[in-house]
Amino acid sequence: MDLSPLQKARYEYNPKLPKILRNPIRSLKSVEGEATSAATDAQKIRELFPNTYGLPQVSFAVSDVEVTHEPINIGVILSGGQAPGGHNVISGLYDALKNANKESKLIGFLGGPSGILDDKTIEMTDSFIDEYRNTGGFDIIGSGRTKLETEQQFETCAEVCKKHGITSLVIIGGDDSNTNAAVLAEYFLKTHAGISVVGCPKTIDGDLKNEFIEVSFGFDTATKTYSELIGNLMRDANSSKKYWHFVKLMGRSASHIALECALQTQPNICLISEEVEQNNTSLKEIVTSIAKTVADRAEKGNNYGVILIPEGLVEFIPEVKTLISDINTLLAKEEASYNALNSWEEQFDFVTSHLDEAKREVFVSLPVDIQKQLLMDRDPHGNVQVSRIETEKMLIQMVSTELDQMAKTGKYTGKFTGLNHFFGYEGRCAFPSNFDADYCYSLGYNAYLLLANNFSGYISSVGNLTAPADQWTAGGIPITMMMNMEERHGEMKPVIKKALVDLDGAPFRYFKEQRETWAVETSFVFPGAIQYYGPTEVCDLTTRTLQLEHK
């Protein structure tokens, strides 16, 4: 297989570990802290997780006596969308397991959670692991979105694990995947299956975070990748002086990616979905505000700029959110009648005739392409697929129309040319930054220690992340500690609380203080490509979000 020079060099990179984890594994012991509780809905969480609720936080310390590690077999699953660093979680897990006892085995389940249900496995070896160290992607064993949530599935998992002699399971995923890990751990304890389960926090969206999980892995690399691309667009705009770039960024439920990229690049405008929702900002107000910034810059002779848009923005605009809800309900109830329609005109008339006057007015005001996207194929739950709505194109068209109206009254005299971009998949499988390479390796290494000490229902936790890696902390957090009850598909279910952008937090406050200047002045910052070799202050830099949160 042909390799690029960078790929060859990255294979040889030695990830940094927290100081405590650099000690020989046989010299480490677990230290239990105080009993924990859920922050909200504590009584209900306790009832649902009687075996794993109230567990203590865990850390590690050097033992006075050598700890014996008997051979164990560990299974590992990659769950959900890709995130840079996943290969290093598995590498760290493998190295720790083999350092503890050469006879231990790491068994990967192929294709995500369905791999354990279908008993598709691969035993990992030194040569196999070495092909994936410090690389992006999840191709080492593949991933998938099958949910492990029924007792029948849990029983199948237990049977497959028993067949392979697996007594420990690591699930690498986001908030839903780690919620499922907690439910699976509870079931195994209840049924005395003899299988421990530990999760690792993954998602580029950055919404799996709290006071115990400072950041999910992949967020650092993805935002640096997007910021490089945004910086390139800024340099191009600054050169040509004639384009407005509307950039939609991945992250459906939360705007962490958009905010971090704004902090790194200083665009003219960055919309934050959580602020739009809190202020009840209408689509008309968003369009008017953007048009005003375009006009203000035009007065200075600057007919160019960059606007960042979170992927899930449309679901946070009040009137669009309720419109989507009504359309979801309508198409679910009238599925047969709607599917019998053959032309766009018939579909348009059908939908508008079933909407109330206010919703109809919003729907009609949208560009035709967006109207069609709101009515296209639904997801498995019958909801509109928001990621496929081209919000960036919608805003370009609506801002252009608004500027045309402003020009008629002399309020705008510039030239507007909007270009649309969507940065999503470009960042999910990038070579992990040094931070993510180190962080992920530490998460995997740490996960082994939790399992070796018979902890189950925990998430691997590495903290103090703005300090040099040798000062990072390592341990485990009971997943039940991070749960609350939320309505999912009409039922109240225990889930890890999704972290949205905190409008009172330091990162957003800083952004808010600067954005009026960034809007009119050309304040662009050009981050450049991720650096892997060179000065520590360049190569091991954490995100602006983390820096501001820990300032």
Q: What are phi and psi of 353, to 5 degrees?
A: -70, -20
Q: How far apart are alpha carbons 520 and 514 in whole angstroms?
A: 11
Which amino acid is present at 479? I
Tokens of 137: 């992607």
Q: Report helix, strand or coil for 394.
A: helix
Residue 176 among the catalytic residues: no
| Ramachandran class of 282: left when φ > 0, alpha when ψ lies in -120 to 50, beta otherwise | beta
**Which residues, other chains included, contact 246 with Cβ-Cβ below 8 Å and sequence gap of 6+?**
307, 309, 392, 393, 395, 396, 418, 419, 420, 421
Q: How far apart are alpha carbons 200 and 155 in whole angstroms?
A: 22
Please write down the HEC assignment for all residues of 144-163: CCCCCCCHHHHHHHHHHHHH
Q: How far apart are alpha carbons 20 and 63 in whole angstroms?
A: 11
How many C-beta atoms surround the C-beta of residue 260 within 10 A? 28
24 burial (CB, 10 Å; 0-12 / 13-18 / 19+) is: exposed
Tokens of 43: 């009584």
Q: Which of 205, 207, 326, 436 is flagged as catalytic?
A: 205
Q: How far apart are alpha carbons 454 and 472 in whole angstroms?
A: 23
Q: How far apart are alpha carbons 11 and 5 in whole angstroms?
A: 10
Q: Identify the helix (H) or strand (E) that includes residue 318.
A: helix 318-333
Which amino acid is present at 475? G
The residues pairing with 473 across neighbouring beta strands, listed in sequence order, are 463
Which active-site residues does the annotation give?
205
